[in-house]
Structure 1
C-alpha cells in the first residue's frame, strides 16, 4: 500500500512538471478512458452555437459538392459522342457564314472542315447539339435534289444557331455562379467557419488545461485498478479549502483563460451565423440561373415560329403535290 501511495505521489509530481501540451493530452486520455473525476461543462448556449455552426458547415459542404460542377465546363456534355478536332475547330456561326458562300458540295465540305480560328469550341450539351444539328443539316442539303431548300435541313441549321446561343448563355451563367456564389461559399467554409473551428479548439484546449490543473493540484491525476480485480483507486483528493494559495491561483488563472476563450469563441460563432453573405450568395445563384433560363426562353421563342412556319410551308407544299395528282 505504501508503494502504491508513493506511485500516486510520483504521478502527481510528474503532472506538475510535464509540458502544458502533455498535460492536456494526459487529461484527454483520462476522459476517453472514463478515468476523469470531473469535467468542466460548457454552457448550454455555447453548445447550441456549436451545433448551429456544424449545421452551417454541413450545408456548405453539401451544396458545394454539387454546385462545384459549375466550374466544370463539360458537366452536361454527352459522354457517348465522339467529336473530332475539326468538329470543335470553329463555331457554328462561323461555319454557317462560310457555308453561305459555298457554291458547290466541295466548298461546303471545306467550310465544315475549315482550320480552327481560335481555341477549341466548348464541350457543353447545347454546343454539342448545335454541332450535331449543323452537321445533320449539311448531310440533308448535300443529298437534296428537289427544287428549293430542304425544309428540315433549313430548320436544323437555324436550330443549330439557336443552340449555340443557348450554350453561350449557359457559359455566362456558369461564370456568374463561380464568381458570385461558389467564391463566396468557399470563403465562408474555408475562412469564416474555419475561424470558428479554431476558436472552438482553443476553448477545448483551455478546458483540458483547466481540468488537468484541477486534477493535479487536488491529487487526482490518475486512477489505477487494485490487484485481484479490486475497484479503481486514487489518492484521496484534497479538500478545496486546503489548497495552497499557489494552487488556488493556478486554478483561477486556468479558469480565466477558459472563460476568455469561451467568450471569444461565442463572438466568432455568432458572427459566422449572423452574416448575411451566404444568403446573398444564394440569391446570386438564383439570379444567374434565372437569367440563363430567360435567355434560353427568349432564344427558343424566336426560333419556334420560324420552325413552325417551315412546317406549315412543307405541309402546304405536300398538300399541293397531292392535289395535282
Structure 2
C-alpha cells in the first residue's frame, strides 16, 4: 500500500509546524494561531518522545497504543492535515456503507418484529380477569400447602384443588371466551329456547375465534423460530464480526499514521527504526483491510436475510389464510341464522 505524501502547505511549505507559524495565518486571529502553534508543537514533542522511548516489549505495546490514542485525538481536534491521513481503498469504503445499511435494516426490522416474542401483544387489558386468575392461583396454592402440611396429623386435610387452567392471552382467544361465556349465560337463563339462534351464533363465533387464536399462536412460534432467532443471529455473528474487523482496520490505520508522525519527528539515531515501523504498519493495514473486505463481502452475499423474510411472510400468510377460512365458515353459518331470524321477524310483524 503506498504511503501518503507528507503534508505540503501553500507556497512550497513542507513542514506543517512551519506553515502554521507563518505570519499570514495570524493576521486575523492571533490567539487562535498561537493556540494551534502550541497544540502542534506539543503533539510533535509527545509523538517524538513516544518514538524515542527505549522500553521492553510489553511497555512498547503500551506506548504503541498510547501513540494511536494520540493520533486519534489529533485527528479529532483537527491537528492533522487531511493529506496526512491514510486513505483507505474505495472498495473498502463502499462495503462499509453497505454493511452499515444492512445492519440498520436488521436493527429497525428487529425492533418491530420482537413484538412476536410476547403472546399478549394484542391482548386487551382485563382487570377483572387478572384478579380472578390471581385469586384462583392463591386458592390453589393455599389448599395444596395446607394438604401437604397436615399429612400425618390428627387434623383433617382439606381436599387439594386442581391447578388452574391456563388461558392464552391473545385477542382472538379473549373474543372466543367472551362469546362462549355469553352463550353459556343465555342458555342457562330464562327464555333460552327463544334465544336458540343467538346462542348457536355465539357458540359458532367462539369456535371460530378459537381456531383463529390457535393459528395466531402457530404464526408467532414460527416467526420466533424461523425469523427472529436467525435474524438476531446474523446481527450478533456475521455482522458483528465484520464490524470488529473494521475496528481492527481503523486501529491499524491510526497506528500507521502515528508511525509516520514518529518518523517525521525521529532523531537521526531513530530514523531507520522509525522507517521499519512505518513499513510494518503498512503491511499490517494491508492485511487487516483485506480481511475486513472479505468479511464484509461474506455478510453482504449471505442469503440468510432473504430466507428469514420469506419465513416471516410465510408464517403470516398461513395465519391469515387459516383465519380467513375459519371466519368464512362462521360467517356462512351466521348468514343462514340471520336470514332465518329476519324471516321470522317479518312474519311476526305481518300478523
Q: TM-score range by the shorter chain?
A: 0.7 to 0.9
Deviation of the 1:25 alpha carbon: 0.5
Count how many residue pairs are aligned between Structure 1 and Structure 2.
278
Aligned to 1:30: 74
SS at match of 2:237: helix
Greater alpha carbon shift after TM alignment, 13-22 vs 255-264: 13-22
* Structure 2 CA distance for aligned equivalents of residues 150 and 7 of structure 1: 91
State the Cα deviation string for residues 121-169 of structure 1 (Å, max 9, x = none): 1110000111111122223333341645431122011101110110010
Aligned to 1:311: 338
State the Cα deviation string for residues 164-217 of structure 1 (Å, max 9, x = none): 110010000000000001011101111111001100000001000000000011
Aligned CA RMSD, in angstroms, stands at 2.9
* Structure 2 CA distance for aligned equivalents of residues 321 and 196 of structure 1: 77
Within the candidate set 204, 209, 212, 2:255 is matched to 209
* Structure 1 CA distance for aligned equivalents of residues 98 and 166 of structure 2: 46
Deviation of the 1:320 alpha carbon: 3.0
Superposition pairs of residues 152-171 of structure 1, within 5 angstroms: 152-171=198-217
Within the candidate set 49, 57, 60, 1:13 is matched to 49
Aligned to 2:173: 127
Superposition pairs of residues 181-192 of structure 1, within 5 angstroms: 181-192=227-238
Superposition pairs of residues 59-98 of structure 1, within 5 angstroms: 59-79=105-125, 82-84=128-130
Deviation of the 1:27 alpha carbon: 0.6
* Structure 1 CA distance for aligned equivalents of residues 241 and 192 of structure 2: 73
Aligned to 1:288: 315
SS at match of 2:265: coil
Q: TM-score, normalising length from structure 1?
A: 0.78
The 8 Å contact of residues 213 and 254 in structure 1, kept in 2 or not, is answered as: yes
The 8 Å contact of residues 52 and 270 in structure 2, kept in 1 or not, is answered as: no
* Structure 2 CA distance for aligned equivalents of residues 167 and 7 of structure 1: 68
Aligned to 2:240: 194
Q: Which runs of 5+ in 1 are unaligned?
A: 90-114, 221-236
The 8 Å contact of residues 133 and 160 in structure 1, kept in 2 or not, is answered as: yes
Aligned to 1:259: 286
* Structure 2 CA distance for aligned equivalents of residues 130 and 7 of structure 1: 74
SS at match of 1:316: helix
State the Cα deviation string for residues 218-257 of structure 1 (Å, max 9, x = none): 118xxxxxxxxxxxxxxxx99xxx9844332221110000
Q: Which runs of 5+ in 2 are unaligned?
A: 1-37, 54-61, 136-160
1:248 equivalenced with 2:292 (yes/no) = no
The 8 Å contact of residues 47 and 261 in structure 2, kept in 1 or not, is answered as: no
C-alpha distance 167-147 of structure 1, shift in aligned 2 (>3 A): closer
